[in-house]
């Protein structure tokens, strides 16, 4: 863990995130730190996608092998699409554009720009653009996507209150962001690697295609 941020609880306004706090989080991530941050669904674990040791730390926290950790990218908007995924069809792009930002994770073919440690055996990645100003503000400050993973365990009720999250995980991560009470329902996961899109998990996002 980074001694500069060790176990920090950081209050960030959900509607008007303080720029100085977003810069603090970005600095932490760039230095190899791990944060717990709010999204438009549940709170999640995050790190810089290019910090391999941080990715491994998240896998250890989840007590799971890295390639089984169901990791996804959180992006600011769809501008990262062409860099981290293989070329998408016009209908697929329209689908993504009409549903993002929003509570969806889209499974897409990974490009060679995606670090190997983050690619599944099928060379796919999950793409998220959450409708949350804190999450997107962090990514905007960092200038590239962050890794996103769910918190370990089944006690989802405990993961809505950032104070309780801090009590449970504060010693394992560098920063816990208090951005208000989080949701209890995860994102809807849609596999778009084939022509016939498949809903892998029904969550907060309505399936309307």
Give me the residue spans of the domains in the chain.
8-201
- pLDDT at position 83 is 86
Asked if 126 contacts 109 with a C-beta cutoff of 8 angstroms, the reply is no
The residue behind tokens 């929003």 is 102
> Which two structure tokens, joined as six digits, stand for 25?
């989080």
* Helix axes of 19-30 and 133-142: crossing angle, nearest 10 degrees: 60
Tokens of residue 50, six digits: 């290019």
Name the superfamily (CATH) of residues 8-201.
DHBP synthase (3.90.870.10)
Q: In the sheet that 175-178 helps form, which strands lie side by side, from edge to edge?
A: 8-11, 175-178, 35-37, 44-48, 146-150, 72-74, 124-128, 104-109, 188-191, 198-201
With a CB cutoff of 8 Å and minimum separation 6, the contacts of 112 are none
How far apart CA 76 and CA 172 sit, in angstroms, is 26
Provide CB contacts within 8 A for 202, sequence distance 6+. Answer: 188
Q: For residues 195 and 38, give the distance between their C-alpha atoms in angstroms, rounded to a whole number.
A: 32
67, two tokens: 């390639």
- pLDDT score recorded for residue 117: 73
When the pLDDT of each residue in the chain is averaged and rounded to a whole number, the result is: 90
**Tokens (6 digits) for 154:** 């089944």
Average pLDDT over residues 93-102: 94
157: which 2 tokens? 């009720």
**pLDDT beyond 80 at 70:** no
pLDDT of residue 119: 67
State pLDDT tens for residues 3-47: 566 688 999 999 999 999 999 999 999 999 999 999 999 999 999
Token pair belonging to 89: 């069809």
| pLDDT tens track for 98-146 | 999 999 999 999 888 888 777 666 688 899 999 999 999 999 999 999 9
Would you state the pLDDT for residue 153? 77
């Amino acid at each position: 863990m980074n001694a500069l941020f060790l176990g920090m609880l950081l209050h960030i306004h959900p509607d008007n995130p303080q720029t100085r706090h977003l810069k603090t989080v970005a600095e932490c991530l760039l230095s190899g730190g791990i944060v717990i941050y709010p999204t438009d669904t549940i709170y999640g674990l995050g790190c810089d996608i290019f910090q391999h040791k941080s990715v491994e730390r998240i896998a250890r926290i989840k007590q799971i092998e890295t390639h089984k950790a169901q990791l996804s990218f959180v992006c600011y908007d769809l501008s990262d699409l062409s860099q981290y995924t293989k070329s998408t069809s016009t209908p697929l792009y329209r689908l993504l554009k009409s549903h993002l930002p929003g509570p969806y994770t889209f499974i897409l073919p990974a490009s060679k720009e995606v670090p190997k440690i983050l690619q599944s055996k099928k060379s796919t990645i999950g793409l998220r653009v959450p409708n949350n100003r804190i999450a997107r503000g962090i990514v905007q400050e960092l200038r590239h996507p962050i890794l996103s993973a769910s918190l370990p365990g089944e006690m989802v009720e405990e993961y809505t209150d950032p104070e309780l999250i801090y009590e449970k995980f504060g010693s394992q991560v560098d920063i816990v962001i208090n951005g208000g009470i989080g949701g209890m329902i995860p994102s809807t996961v849609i596999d778009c690697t084939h022509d016939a899109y498949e809903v892998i998990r029904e969550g907060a996002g309505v399936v309307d295609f």
